[in-house]
Homo-oligomer: A and B are copies of this chain.
Amino acid sequence: MAERASSGPPRGRRRGSPDTRSAILAAARSSFAEHGFAGTTIRAVAASAGVDAALVHHYFGTKDELFLAALELPVDPRKLIAPAVAGPVEQAAERFLGVFLTAWDDPDIRPSLVAVARGIMDPAANRLLSEGVLPVVIEPIGVALGIDRPAERMPLVASQVIGLILMRYVLVVEPLASMPRDRVIATYAPTIQRYLTGDLP
């Protein structure tokens, strides 16, 4: 009864208790974000999720696989940054910073992003930036914006955004950590806009 018809992609819950699985995943994200990869123990993740350590292995296999699973963002970054590329390129920096801060200020996805940031720093998984974040998130923005030499300019943008993210959200350095969103945008927009469309040597 109430079985799904055979139309559309397979939706609905997978086998196993999805609550338990996602609880483990959420606990893993928090731990990876707070203690890094090496500083996270399977036992602590299990305890934080209220389950046994063996269950973590049952769902995710090794610690590495759990880490990769925890890095899967709950939202598609490409969808998130779509508003940044829609509009005149002259105000692209403000829109870009806006969607970025919106994502990072969302308490639902910030832990995942912090985990990604820390994972990038961990030598055990730092192909993540060069093979992941940069080509699938950052560079397509430059291409979509139609800017000049995107492969050259977007890393400049990334260098400033990563530094800001690090100081404001990961290391929580004042006064950046407590600075209002609009002020952050107004402060950094000229820098980003110059990297996007300004004169470069």
Residues of A that sit less than 8 Å from B by CB? 34-39, 118, 120-124, 126, 129-130, 134, 151-152, 155-156, 158-164, 166-168, 170-171, 173-176, 183, 186-187, 190-191, 194, 200-201
Interchain Cβ contacts under 8 Å between A and B, 16 examples? A36-B38, A36-B121, A36-B124, A39-B123, A121-B122, A130-B173, A156-B176, A158-B163, A159-B163, A159-B164, A159-B166, A160-B160, A163-B163, A166-B166, A183-B201, A186-B201
Chain B positions within 8 Å of A200 at CB level: 187
Total identical chains: 2
Contact, CB under 8 Å: A126 / B38: no
Chain B positions within 8 Å of A164 at CB level: 159, 163
Chain B positions within 8 Å of A38 at CB level: 35-39
Q: What is the CA–CA distance of A156 and B200 in the complex, to the nearest angstrom?
A: 21
Contact, CB under 8 Å: A36 / B122: yes
Chain B positions within 8 Å of A151 at CB level: 175
Most B Cβ at <10 Å: residue of A159, A171, A174 = A159
